[in-house]
Amino acid sequence: MEGSSRPQPPVRNLLDGSLQVTGNSDILYADEGISRLLDIPVNELEGRSWFSLFHPFDRNRIDAAMKQLESAGQGHAVLRTANASGATLYLYVNLCRAEGTNPGGDYYCLVQNLGDRTGYDASQQHYERLFSLSNDLLCVANTMGYFLEVNPAFTRVLGYTREELQRTTFLEFIHPDDVDSTLKEIRKLRSGVDSLYFENRYRCKDGSWRWLAWSTPASTEEGILYAVAKDITERKEHEDHLLRMAKFDFLSGLPNRGYLEEELKRAMSRAGRGKQVLAGYFIDLNDFHLVNERHGHDVGDDLIRHMSVRLRTLLRACDFIARIGSDEFFVLAEVEQSAKALHLADKIASLLHNPFTLEDGMVKVSASVGTTLYQAEVHRDASAFITSAERAMQVQKQKHKQLNAGNGSRVAPA
């Protein structure tokens, strides 16, 4: 070291650089040699932890060298670092006590640039190659929420540069709906519990979202996490498609009867506890078969799609609408009083009576609407509730037939 007031590190003539370090591993003094080696100004080195200068994957080597230092007064390791241009350097690091200091006090970090002088461990080189070439997303992070290292798959899948991913906490990239569950998982990792499988969504640079499935061993004592993630977006999209096929009607896009019964069970449970009235509306198009007979099934399908849109426009976002048959629909609504439930039934019938403008022209149909109000002692299950509304609809349909007997179809030509 240049100043005569500073103690000289041992074997100074063999060094490419040296650091004087406090017992807390913060750099107290850095010489010009290591500043040139890393291409980092001395004033930017001093005050940093010397651990931060080296590759996070080498932290186990640093830990081993520190243990040697504590037990024997000397520690050794071959570590990787990168200079300002990004080039990887292999450095031989010797840790030794400053003269006259006790264990736990200041020590030296003496550095030699090995360059071509090392036959670096072949398995380590294979490991680095796997890290770079893996299609899985591999990373080193800490439990404070920052990426320390990411492999190229991360940048390829998410679209960010390595520096952009490291610049801010990784919670900034996670879907808002997944933040709480992710924090819960991190707390488990901090407590020593492995995360064998965990899913969350990450925002890509283009604004889209990717589903990632994580496998992460519990954190080390230093709060370091080594994680592997697989991009499962296509699988999740396929699962969502299958779920929609199982719960939704293909033609109208509305929930089907099975989904209606699931929702009705939940609504009946709420009705038993709350003050609101649960109302069900069974809707059946009158003379729908005449549309198919006169204009073809394509026009009939188009009418069903337009009817679905009209129902969604009429009703509140909290109301549940399902297609439960060819020309049969069911609306589930929670209203404040019975009078409002009956008013909504008239509103549905009136709105559907208006002509539908389809690609082949204008078609006019009417609908019979049966209304039922939930009664716990009568409607023991979802099926009984639906049947009750269907019976009420049949009464309305019979009135429609009597009213229009002898007058012909109410279906206007397309």
Which pLDDT tens digit goes with each residue over 348-396?
A: 888 777 778 777 778 888 888 999 998 877 787 888 899 999 999 999 8
Structure token pair of residue 199: 């899913």
Q: Which CATH superfamily is domain 12-119 in?
A: PAS domain (3.30.450.20)
Question: What is the average pLDDT value for the chain, to the nearest integer?
Answer: 83
Say if CB 315 and CB 240 are below 8 A apart. Answer: no
Q: How many CB atoms neighbour CB 76 within 10 A?
A: 15
CA of 285: how far to CAs of 225, 258, 327, 367, in Å? 61, 21, 6, 4
Question: Euclidean distance between the first and final Cα of the chain, in Å?
Answer: 96
Residue 414: what pLDDT?
A: 37
CB 343 within 8 A of CB 371: no
Largest CA-CA distance found in the chain, in angstroms, rounded: 118
Alpha carbons 400 and 398: distance in angstroms, whole number: 5
pLDDT tens for 231-245 read 999 999 998 888 888
Return d(Cα 22, Cα 10) in angstroms, integer. Answer: 17
Claim: this prediction has a pTM higher than 0.85: no
Q: What is the pLDDT of residues 308-324, one digit of tens each?
A: 888 888 788 888 999 99
Residue 193, SS3? coil
Dihedrals φ, ψ of 409, to 5°? -75, 150
248-404 in CATH: which number?
A: 3.30.70.270
User: Is residue 177 predicted with pLDDT exceeding 90?
Assistant: yes
What does the pLDDT read at residue 322? Answer: 93
Q: Whole-angstrom Cα distance, residue 97 to residue 53?
A: 20
- Cβ neighbours of 282 (radius 10 Å): 26
d(CA 308, CA 301): 11
Beta strands of 98-194 (E only): which ranges?
A: 107-113, 137-142, 147-150
Q: How far apart are CA 132 and CA 154, in angstroms?
A: 10
Percent of the chain surpassing pLDDT 70: 88
Asked if pLDDT for residue 291 goes beyond 50, the answer is yes
As a whole number of angstroms, the distance between CA 315 and CA 334 comes to 11
Residues 67-88 have a mean pLDDT of 81
Give the pLDDT of residue 117: 46
Count Cβ atoms within 10 A of the Cβ of residue 186 and give its class: 0-12 exposed, 13-18 middle, 19 or more buried: buried
Interatomic CA distance for residues 143 and 47, integer angstroms? 22
| 98 secondary structure, DSSP code | P
The predicted pLDDT at position 412 comes to: 40
Sign of CA dihedral 66, 67, 70, 74: negative
Thinking of the domain 123-236, which architecture would CATH place it in? 2-Layer Sandwich (3.30)
**Do 12-119 and 123-236 agree at the fold level?**
yes
pLDDT in tens, 298-308: 888 888 888 88
Tell me the residue length of the chain.
414
Question: Where along the chain do its domains lie?
Answer: 12-119, 123-236, 248-404
Q: Report yes or no: 91 and 17 within 8 Å, Cβ to Cβ.
A: no
